[in-house]
Chain A
Amino acid sequence: MDTRGATVPHSGLGKSSRVITITSGKGGVGKTTVTANLAVALTHLGKRVVCIDADIGLRNLDLILGLEKRIVHDLVDVVEGRQPLAKAMIRHKTFPELYLIPAAQTRDKTAVSPVQMIRIANELRPDFDFIIIDCPAGIERGFKNAIAPADEVLIVTNPEVSAVRDADRIIGILETLERRPPAKLIINRVKPEMVRRNEMLSPGDVTDILDVDLIGVVPEDETVLIAGNKGLPDTTSRAGQAFRNIARRLLGEEVPFMNLESSGGWFRRIARLFGGGAAGKAGEG
């Protein structure tokens, strides 16, 4: 697979801006929700954030962020030279440090190339702390586009066998790239009740299979769905707390994992992954 974009260098080194691609392989695990909530959480921490929706033809990020009605120009307009980048950037009204570059809805993935994605990311770097790319499902062109400019990759999975299987495939592909962007894992939609009844893979089971660093465990939370439908990410919910924690961990803070259930079980197993310190503090809340 070639996502190197040979002619355009990554200018990430030596700059503080970070390009993070949110991917999963499997569809429907919550990539777009994670992108939106993580972006909002980062703005709450005082960061300037731009989201790029790389899911050309099936755009959704604008809906979750409540920006659908304000789209005039999109990513493909920029790539094809009809509009300057600034014209396609939509500023969020509620979170003024958050911008969106929407995908085109009437085109397909081939309208953009990996090299063009790298160029766009590089053009955004001077103005933003975080450039977050929402990757489409699959491992084809759209995935290659979204991965090409990434300094880091966050892999979203659900505690189900099929989602974990696809995440494993994605990690395998990332490992074969010449430029291996570091990958971390977000386990989304965990139901502690089901884990306790042994009806759902625990985060420990998932990291055991995937053998990759965990950066967040997000509990299943109806308010995320409701907020997504309203187009206004809610960071006060339980899931919102998990997203805020991920944002802080991205900034290098050591944040203990939330205690999603009152006693023992899988939680201790992930806590162990992060050393005794995290485990000790986690019990407090």
Chain B
Amino acid sequence: MAAKDDLIAIKGIREGLLLTLTADSSEWGEVTARLSVKLDEKKGFFKGARVALDVGPRPVLPHEMDSLRLLLQKREMTLWAVVSTSATTQSTARNLGLETSLVTAGESLEAPEVRSEEAGEGAVLVSRTLRNGRSVRSSGHVVIIGDVNPGAEVVAGGDVIVWGRLRGIVHAGANGDESAVVCALDLAPTQLRIAGYITVSPDDRRRKPKPEMALVRQGRIVAEAWNG
């Protein structure tokens, strides 16, 4: 019995529930019966859920899919998507007006559920040097692993972090966020802007590179050394 439970996995995803059927030669009737048992164990818990189904390579015929859909409907659950590598299943799903991919909803099946302690924010990561004439623009944060050469440009709605030498033009908080910061291992931009503020680097070519963070403080941009 316990081993048979591995046949069906239920987990929560952003879009609702994901039911995963392990590749198995069990009869469809057996599968639906097991599922019923599993769902009824926590009846109230699944009520009203939107359900996506991953059947792996199993070919599922229209009447089989119908029986499953009915089973879910009885428990006030809605099947909205079926994911499968089987062409038969995909065609079945399409004929029933179901989605065949979760990717459109921005969630990949392989992606593990992220349960971060901190909320965090999205950022664009660029892992190479930005040479003259290249630019990166994002409404979020931008992280660059590499240099930003003179003539290159980084514009971000949020913060800009450069793990390298920052020599080009950089604009953080481009949508007006004055709390945005710019960090670099060597902060020597041609021009640095935060929100509506603008500044240039002092002209001391032979200075020693050091990590710095630029931010707006009392109405002007200041650069602070990072002292670990």
Q: Is A166 an interface residue (CB 8 A)?
A: yes
A165 contacts B by Cβ under 8 Å: yes
Over the window 126-153 of chain B, the binary record of Cβ atoms lying under 8 Å from chain A Cβ atoms (1 yes, 0 no) is 0011111110000000000001011110
Q: Is A209 an interface residue (CB 8 A)?
A: yes
Q: Which of A10-18, A34-42, A169-177 contacts B (4 or more CB under 8 A)?
A: A169-177
| A137 nearest CB across to chain B (Å) | 15
Residue in B128, B129, B147, B151 whose beta carbon sits within 8 Å of that of A169 in the complex: B151
Rounded to whole angstroms, the CA-CA distance of A168 and B147 in the bound complex is 12
Question: Residues of B within 8 Å of A, CB-based: how many?
Answer: 12
- Name the contact of A165 in the complex, choosing from B128, B130, B150 (C-beta under 8 A): B150
**Residues of A with C-beta under 8 A to B129:** 211
Q: How far does the alpha carbon of A175 sit from the alpha carbon of B146 in the complex, in Å?
A: 14
Distance in angstroms from B13 CB to nearest chain A CB is 36
Overall SS of chain A's interface? helix
Least CB distance, B71 to chain A, in whole angstroms: 51
Closest to B149 in A: A168
Q: Could you tell me the distance between the alpha carbons of A166 and B149 in the complex, rounded to whole angstroms?
A: 11
Distance to closest chain A CB from B127 (angstroms): 13
State the CA gap A263–B189 with chains docked (Å): 33
- Provide the residues of chain B in CB contact with A175, threshold 8 Å: 128, 131
A128–B128 Cα distance when bound, in Å, is 37
Chain B nearest Cβ from A130, distance in angstroms: 28
Q: CA–CA, A171 to B130, complex, Å?
A: 10
User: Which residues of chain A in 153-198 are interfacial with respect to chain B, using CB atoms and an 8 Å cutoff?
Assistant: 165-166, 168-169, 171-173, 175
A167: min CB distance to chain B, Å: 9
Are the C-beta atoms of A166 and B131 separated by less than 8 Å?
no
- Kindly report which residue of chain B lies nearest to residue A175, judged by CB atoms: B131
B113-131 vs A, Cβ < 8 Å mask (1 yes, 0 no): 0000000000000001111
Residues of A within 8 A of B128 (CB): 175
With a cutoff of 8 Å between Cβ atoms, the chain B residues found around residue A171 in the complex are 131
Residues of B within 8 A of A209 (CB): 149
Nearest residue (CB) in B for A208 is B165
In chain A, what residue has the closest Cβ to B151?
A165
Contact residues in A for B131 (Cβ distance below 8 Å): 168-169, 171-172, 175
Contact residues in B for A165 (Cβ distance below 8 Å) = 132, 150-151
Output the nearest chain B residue to A168 by Cβ-Cβ distance: B132
Q: Name the residue of chain B whose CB is nearest to the CB of A205.
A: B205
Chain A proximity of B61: nearest CB distance (Å): 44
Interface string of B86-110 (1 = CB under 8 A from A): 0000000000000000000000000
**A209 (CB) vs chain B CBs: closest residue:** B149
- Chain B residues with CB under 8 Å of A168's CB are 131-132, 149-151
Residue on A nearest B131 in the bound complex, by CB? A172
Chain A residues near B130 (CB-CB < 8 A)? 172
| CA gap between A209 and B149 in the complex, in Å | 8
Min CB distance B133 to A, Å, is 5
> Chain A contacts of B152 at CB under 8 A?
172
- Within the complex, the shortest CB–CB distance from A180 to chain B, in Å, comes to 12
Chain B residues in 8 Å Cβ range of A172? 130-134, 149, 152
Tell me the smallest distance from the CB of A171 to a CB of chain B, in Å: 6
CA of A171 to CA of B147 in the docked complex: distance in angstroms?
A: 14
A166 to B129, CA, bound (A): 16
Question: Among B132, B133, B149, which residue has the most Cβ atoms of chain A within 10 A?
Answer: B132
* Complex CA distance for A173 and B152, rounded to whole angstroms: 12
- Give 1 or 0 for each of B35-74: 1 = CB within 8 Å of chain A CB: 0000000000000000000000000000000000000000
Given contacts A168-B150, A172-B131, A211-B129, 5 further A-B contacts (CB under 8 A): A165-B150, A169-B133, A172-B132, A172-B133, A172-B134
User: Can you name 7 A-B residue pairings with CB atoms under 8 Å?
Assistant: A165-B150, A168-B131, A171-B131, A172-B131, A172-B134, A172-B149, A175-B128
